[in-house]
Structure 1
Amino acid sequence: MCLEGLACLNEGAESASTAQQYTLRKEPDAGDLLRCRYHRFYRKKNHTMAPKKKVSALLKLQIQAGKANPAPPLGPALGSHGVNIMDFCKQYNAATQDKMGQVIPVEITVFEDRSFTFILKTPPAAALLKKAAGIQKGTENPLTHKVGSVTKAQVREIAEIKMADLSARDVEAGMKIIEGTARSMGITVTD
Structure 2
Amino acid sequence: MPKAGGKVKAMRKVVEKVIHSNVIRAIIPAGMAVAGPPLGPVLGQRGLNIASFCKDFNARTAHYKDGIPLPCRIQVRGDRTYDLTIHHPTTTFFLKQAAGVQRGAMKPGNEICGKITLKHVYEIAKIKAEDPPLQLTPLKRICEMVIGSAHSIGIEVVRDLDPVEYGEFLESRKVVVEEQLKELEEKKEAKLLRK
Q: Give the TM interval when normalised to the shorter protein.
A: 0.5 to 0.7
- The CA distance in 2 between the partners of 1:116 and 1:170, in whole Å, is 30
- Residue 69 of structure 1 aligns with an amino acid whose one-letter code is V
Query: Which protein is richer in strand relative to its size?
Result: 1
Matched, 1:179 2:144: no
Which range moved further: 58-67 or 96-105?
Answer: 96-105
Query: Per-residue CA shift, 1:58-81, capped at 9, x if unaligned?
Result: 100111111111111110110111
Larger Rg, first or second structure (1 or 2):
1
Matched, 1:107 2:73: yes
Asked whether the equivalents of residues 151 and 189 of structure 1 are also in contact (C-alpha less than 8 Å), the reply is yes
Query: Per-residue CA shift, 1:20-45, capped at 9, x if unaligned?
Result: xxxxxxxxxxxxxxxxxxxxxxxxxx
Q: Displaced runs of 4+ in structure 1, greater than 4 A? A: none
- Corresponding residue of 2:98: 132
SS across alignment from 2:63: helix
- The CA distance in 1 between the partners of 2:156 and 2:96, in whole Å, is 12
- Residue 131 of structure 1 aligns with an amino acid whose one-letter code is Q
Matched, 1:63 2:28: yes
Q: 1:157 is matched with which residue: 123, 147, 150?
A: 123
- TM (norm. structure 2) is 0.66
- Residue 35 of structure 2 aligns with an amino acid whose one-letter code is P
Count of matched residue pairs:
140
Percent sequence identity over aligned pairs: 37
Matched, 1:147 2:113: yes
Query: Per-residue CA shift, 1:118-175, capped at 9, x if unaligned?
Result: 1111211111101111112212322211111111111111001101233764323321
- Residue 46 of structure 2 aligns with an amino acid whose one-letter code is H
Q: 1:190 is matched with which residue: 158, 161, 169?
A: 158
Unaligned runs of 5+ in 2: 1-16, 160-195
Higher RCO structure (Cα 8 Å, ≥6 apart): 2
- Corresponding residue of 2:37: 72
The Cα of 1:56 is off from its aligned counterpart by 3.9
- Corresponding residue of 1:87: 52
Query: Per-residue CA shift, 1:51-106, capped at 9, x if unaligned?
Result: x9934421001111111111111101101111000111111111111112311111
- The CA distance in 1 between the partners of 2:78 and 2:72, in whole Å, is 19
* Aligned CA distance change for structure 1 residues 169 and 75 (closer, same or farther; 3 Å): closer
SS across alignment from 2:105: coil
